[in-house]
Structure 1
Amino acid sequence: MMNEPIMEVRDDFMLSPAGDSKPTFRTAHFLKPIANSIQEPAFNCNPFSSSSVFDPNQWPLKFHFNGWRHPHTKWLRWVDQLQLRYETIWKKVGIFEAIMSTKCRIKKNHDLLYGIVEKWCSETNTFVFPFGEATITLEDVMVLGGYPVLGDPVFISLEDQDMREVEKKLILARQQLTNRKEGGMARKPLWMDIFIGKGSEIEHEAFLATWLSAFVFPHKVLVKSCLFPIAIHLARGNPIALAPAVLASIYRDLTLFKKTIVDLSKFPAGSYRYPLEITLPSPFYLVQIWVWERFKSLQPQPMLINHGDPLLFRWDKVKALKIDNVKLTLDSASDDFLWRPYVRFADKCGMFYPNDEILVPFKKDLDDQMLSFVICLRVSELVGFDSIEKYLPHRVAMQFGIDQDVPSCVPRFNDTKEIAWKNYCRPIFDKHLYFPSRFFEADVTSRYSRWWKQLVSGPNDFVKKIVQQKRSASSRKRRAHVGKANRSGNEVGVPPGFPPNLADSLTFAKFCDDGSKPKTRKVDEFYADVHHENSVHNCLSQCCSGSSEYHGNILPLKRPISADNIEPSIE
């Protein structure tokens, strides 16, 4: 898989994902790897065997969302002050929108979070619905969170003496707070007090360390010294690939959340006397925003935003809809689910969404938008601070406007951070890169349709019951679901096409001086950059400025497209 092309192009019989069309024989593009047969090895987890009987109100369960922040007035003032001086640098390293998005206040909807987490499958890092798989991808983290997919890894070391001197000054400032009698900890408000408006030569680095500690890799109260190297690199205009690390943390927390409620549902309600508290340190608000962007039936009225505002501003202080049954709404959302919500904002979100599909001859001087989109399409390992998670976009190809075939199992490259990072930024072997039209509606192969029917079919008539219940509650017409199919009552039997039961993640030594308890360790900590010839990292460093010769090599494809379902951008 390391040296395979990202895509496969072939003629095949294609169907609408809703199953309401006749097969059409046409040229289609697919994300690899693709299964040779729909009879893939089973894995020991039924995606529909979740906590369907779990009621959070019956359990003393409390989740701490460390990454779900409400902006402090002091922080907002600091952002405004430093934006005047450092906006150019923030844009250069791809974090401007992520920093500005910290001004948003996202109102939490617990019912929605419980409902969507019950659909999570940790074997595939996808949500499994009756109408198909979907997940939070690098594209979502980049568009909604504003985090870059390109750059050096988060475990990068400091390269020269000047950088190390800045780190020493940051560590000294942190130690001075720790030694104070009244506090004894490097709390963020105290940290901001010693830098805001004081004219410190390391104020920018201190600001970025605060941002990283509060919003990106959050600790509840502390500024984390392990994030100082990242802050120092960013302050000097060196891009860091924050998106894969952020997505890894979200995947990890989704798995922890799901495991917690599934394990609790195995015991009688009320058997726990004391509250069970779980801490989720990732920017978990992105999960709720992901649902709002894609499920029209769960989407409240978004805010109008100005041109140039981060897309997250659409949800600032927006109140969630009151939904009687979130699980049922999610299961019956075949007609409501938006596979590509961001193409409506092609002029805002910065991703590469062409009006016409194109083929681009691959070479090292791809611009960063094109290269970012390519990385979003490719199976890889996501290197985080606490774990390495598998990234499987080939299972959700329609989220990128790519046709869907039966996904194959994927081997892991997660023995160490270095190996995983080398997998993430491995060379691209495609001779041409395909970019679908933003108007194109992707389909599924006929064999994928058969495979999915096997997945959701069974004697309990699962999907049919969902459709009937939803229709009885609404007069709105809906298209038929993929299988009109049925959920299997066997919680051990597993559908074909899902990967073997491999290790989901790799836990590392805790190297953050953040005051938390040590965790079980599997590998030693290390800090090393991984560079190799013709890698994605090197592609970025040799990025072109957009010459006319380059754009002349972009080949438009001539195939019919439809703009019927495209909504206008909100200005």
Structure 2
Amino acid sequence: MPGPLRNTRIRNQMDRRCPDAPRRCSNCLQPGHTAPNCPVLYLQSEHRFAAIFQGTGVDLDVRRCDRRFFQPLIDLDERVAQYIDAAGFYGIRRAGYLTVDHDLINALVERWRQETHNFHLPVMGEATVTLQDVEVLWGLRVDVLPVTLVHRRRNLAERKQLIYDILGYWPEDNMLNHDRLKITSISQRLSTPLPANASDVMVRQYARMYILILLGGLLFADSGQNLVSLNWLAYVRDLDAMRQYSWGAATLACLYSQMCHASRVSAITTGGPFLLLQFWAWERIPVIRPDVLPFSEMGDFPRGGRWAAKRTGIDPSSQSSIHYREQLALLRMDQFIWMPYTDDILARLPDYCKRGERIWRARLPLIFWYIIEFHCPDRVMRQFGMRQEVPEPVDTNRGGLHQLDLSGYPGRNWADFHKGWIGYWNARATAEVPGVPTTTFRPSNAYLEWYHNHTILYITPPIQQHTQHGQMLHGVSGQFEYLVSYLSP
């Protein structure tokens, strides 16, 4: 009998394993353990849930642009509106501005996991905000060019000159904070109505200022609150070219990035497009959403526009983060709407809410300036009407991507630095995740066993007291989650 086949290739030094190179798990691609012992959620010590479990957790301060800055968008001059709409922001302008529910955002962030870019919900599995959500809810384009950045260093005089060249006015020195401009400065400028005989140059300047408010105050707000980066001026300079960029993918990258940072136990404040997350949660979790009048005719509104309708019941914003935490913990399998955008609803939406459908289910890097975050629809296939199996491993950090920021790399050409990821984005048409259609949203038994063995089912202890509206209440979510953990295979 012949022996086993042997590899006759001559081995050399490249075949030797470096003694200092840590072994990596084939499941999560992280060092320190092997596949049979993979925890999947390997950032436990850094996640804020530990402090919540111990009763020492403090709610995040969720920053967002004040409502007063959005008031001018309600009765917008049509001459200005046409440029904003043509730039690709028609849908979000139509959806309007609502108050962000800080307590709901806190409860959702507690369930977010940086390791997988998903919310880990008890009983049912993983769920997340996808490219489909950002296009359907806000009408932002996704299937176009990535939003990159060539970061330039400027002194104060150069910054003021740039603002004058693009926006048409000279800001006061105290309105500038390094490379950021106070939105107050823009709103003061916009408080002067556009003259009836305004030139096209002035109309475009006004449109640019309104877009800056949308970018810095809503889509890409950070913890700086009411400041907008001067890096956006390179984009608003050419209004006609703005629609060529994937504002939807950039917004989603920003949301993922902000939630990854906010989920850390050290986080105190956060900012980002949390109104998008709020809409996502309202669409899918009926027990935490407000009651509004039916939005019978969508017309040219994106799906998110329906939440601006008149409230008819109890305003959920009067609830606390503890209340939302309990509601999420007690969710049953049938209380989460995996596919809120039915075929009938999608058919009635305007075309601009569906243009990127071919990449809704694509596994891609989401690109926004220096940020690279990963869109992993294979982990939430039920959101696309597909059967959910045990997902493939994912490394969302990829060599330290979550540690990148602008302040540490002044003057860097991020488009060149991320050219490899941009290449993956440019091949997005071939990145769709295949799936098997299903009529049930229950995942496979293998998935449930994998999920229950690798997730954190309980955030609060089984016996916990808390105060709400002056009354002492006993939490039940911890008891429920411990019971689920005990009964799970």
Give the corresponding residue for 1:417: 418
Give the corresponding residue for 2:327: 329
Amino acid at match of 1:226: N
Contact 2:80 2:203 in 1 (8 A): no
Amino acid at match of 2:90: F
Name the SS of the counterpart of 2:393 in structure 1: coil
Contact 2:94 2:302 in 1 (8 A): yes
- Which consecutive residues of structure 2, in runs of 5 or more, have no partner in the other structure? 1-25, 29-34, 151-159, 402-413, 465-474
Give the corresponding residue for 1:448: 447
| Residue from 307, 313, 316 that aligns with 2:298 | 307
Q: How many residues align?
A: 395
Q: CA, structure 1 residues 452+223, in 2 after alignment: closer, same or farther (shift >3 Å)?
A: closer
Contact 2:53 2:459 in 1 (8 A): no
| Residue from 111, 128, 131 that aligns with 1:135 | 128
| Residue from 357, 382, 385 that aligns with 2:369 | 385
Give the corresponding residue for 2:316: 320
| Residue from 361, 373, 379 that aligns with 2:357 | 373
Name the SS of the counterpart of 1:450 in structure 2: helix
Please report how far the alpha carbon of residue 457 of structure 1 lies from its aligned counterpart in structure 2 after TM superposition. 9.1
Contact 1:217 1:283 in 2 (8 A): yes
- Give CA-to-partner distance per residue, 1:409-440, whole Å, 9 cap, x none: 13549693222222123154489988969xx4
- Give CA-to-partner distance per residue, 1:530-560, whole Å, 9 cap, x none: xxxxxxxxxxxxxxxxxxxxxxxxxxxxxxx
- Give CA-to-partner distance per residue, 1:303-322, whole Å, 9 cap, x none: 43343223222222753265
| Residue from 60, 63, 66 that aligns with 1:65 | 63
Q: CA, structure 1 residues 123+63, in 2 after alignment: closer, same or farther (shift >3 Å)?
A: same
Please report how far the alpha carbon of residue 175 of structure 1 lies from its aligned counterpart in structure 2 after TM superposition. 8.0
Q: Is residue 181 of structure 2 the alignment partner of residue 188 of structure 1? A: no
Partners of 2:136 and 2:83 lie apart in 1 by: 21
Give the corresponding residue for 1:342: 341
Q: CA, structure 1 residues 314+424, in 2 after alignment: closer, same or farther (shift >3 Å)?
A: same
- Give CA-to-partner distance per residue, 1:149-179, whole Å, 9 cap, x none: 122221278xxxxxxxxx987542558422x
- Which consecutive residues of structure 1, in runs of 5 or more, have no partner in the other structure? 1-32, 158-166, 265-275, 353-367, 474-480, 489-494, 496-571
Give the corresponding residue for 2:94: 100
Partners of 1:295 and 1:66 lie apart in 2 by: 23
Q: Is residue 137 of structure 2 the alignment partner of residue 144 of structure 1? A: yes
Amino acid at match of 2:106: Y
Give the corresponding residue for 1:204: 204
Name the SS of the counterpart of 2:74 in structure 1: helix
Partners of 2:75 and 2:101 lie apart in 1 by: 28
Partners of 1:461 and 1:279 lie apart in 2 by: 23
Amino acid at match of 2:338: W
Contact 1:107 1:320 in 2 (8 A): no
Contact 1:377 1:400 in 2 (8 A): yes
Q: CA, structure 1 residues 257+54, in 2 after alignment: closer, same or farther (shift >3 Å)?
A: farther
Amino acid at match of 1:212: L
Q: CA, structure 1 residues 295+68, in 2 after alignment: closer, same or farther (shift >3 Å)?
A: farther
Give the corresponding residue for 2:285: 295
- Give CA-to-partner distance per residue, 1:2-33, whole Å, 9 cap, x none: xxxxxxxxxxxxxxxxxxxxxxxxxxxxxxx9
Give the corresponding residue for 2:13: none
Q: Is residue 401 of structure 2 the alignment partner of residue 400 of structure 1? A: no
Amino acid at match of 2:346: A
Partners of 1:42 and 1:34 lie apart in 2 by: 9
| Residue from 102, 110, 131 that aligns with 1:118 | 110
Name the SS of the counterpart of 1:408 in structure 2: coil
Contact 1:67 1:285 in 2 (8 A): no
Please report how far the alpha carbon of residue 136 of structure 1 lies from its aligned counterpart in structure 2 after TM superposition. 1.2
Name the SS of the counterpart of 2:170 in structure 1: helix
Contact 1:342 1:349 in 2 (8 A): no
Relative to the length of structure 2, the TM-score reads 0.66
Q: CA, structure 1 residues 293+238, in 2 after alignment: closer, same or farther (shift >3 Å)?
A: closer
Give the corresponding residue for 2:221: 218
How many percent identity over aligned positions? 20
Contact 1:461 1:485 in 2 (8 A): no
Amino acid at match of 2:283: E
Report 1:156-171 matches (<5 A). 171=164
Partners of 1:458 and 1:487 lie apart in 2 by: 12
Give the corresponding residue for 2:261: 256
- Give CA-to-partner distance per residue, 1:115-170, whole Å, 9 cap, x none: 1111111111111012211111111111222211122221278xxxxxxxxx9875
Partners of 1:435 and 1:350 lie apart in 2 by: 28
Name the SS of the counterpart of 1:388 in structure 2: strand
Partners of 1:191 and 1:385 lie apart in 2 by: 28
- Give CA-to-partner distance per residue, 1:62-91, whole Å, 9 cap, x none: 6252357455433323355533x448x63x
Contact 1:303 1:313 in 2 (8 A): no
- Give CA-to-partner distance per residue, 1:207-259, whole Å, 9 cap, x none: 14433333322374445432133224443474210111111111121122221
Amino acid at match of 1:177: W
Partners of 1:150 and 1:459 lie apart in 2 by: 38
Partners of 1:386 and 1:237 lie apart in 2 by: 19
Please report how far the alpha carbon of residue 446 of structure 1 lies from its aligned counterpart in structure 2 after TM superposition. 3.2
RMSD: 4.5
Give the corresponding residue for 1:75: 73
Please report how far the alpha carbon of residue 388 of structure 1 lies from its aligned counterpart in structure 2 after TM superposition. 1.4
Amino acid at match of 1:136: V
Question: Which stretch shows the higher mean deviation, 126-135 or 211-220?
Answer: 211-220
Contact 1:340 1:399 in 2 (8 A): yes
Name the SS of the counterpart of 1:128 in structure 2: strand
Partners of 1:433 and 1:406 lie apart in 2 by: 14
Report 1:261-272 matches (<5 A). 262-263=265-266
Name the SS of the counterpart of 2:374 in structure 1: strand
Amino acid at match of 2:277: V
Q: CA, structure 1 residues 279+428, in 2 after alignment: closer, same or farther (shift >3 Å)?
A: closer
Name the SS of the counterpart of 2:262 in structure 1: helix
Contact 2:146 2:422 in 1 (8 A): yes
- Give CA-to-partner distance per residue, 1:347-371, whole Å, 9 cap, x none: 344589xxxxxxxxxxxxxxx947x
- Give CA-to-partner distance per residue, 1:513-535, whole Å, 9 cap, x none: xxxxxxxxxxxxxxxxxxxxxxx
Structure with the bigger percentage of helix: 2
Q: CA, structure 1 residues 55+320, in 2 after alignment: closer, same or farther (shift >3 Å)?
A: farther
Contact 2:39 2:454 in 1 (8 A): no
Give the corresponding residue for 2:471: none
Partners of 2:298 and 2:239 lie apart in 1 by: 26
Report 1:223-234 matches (<5 A). 224-234=229-239
Contact 1:51 1:118 in 2 (8 A): no
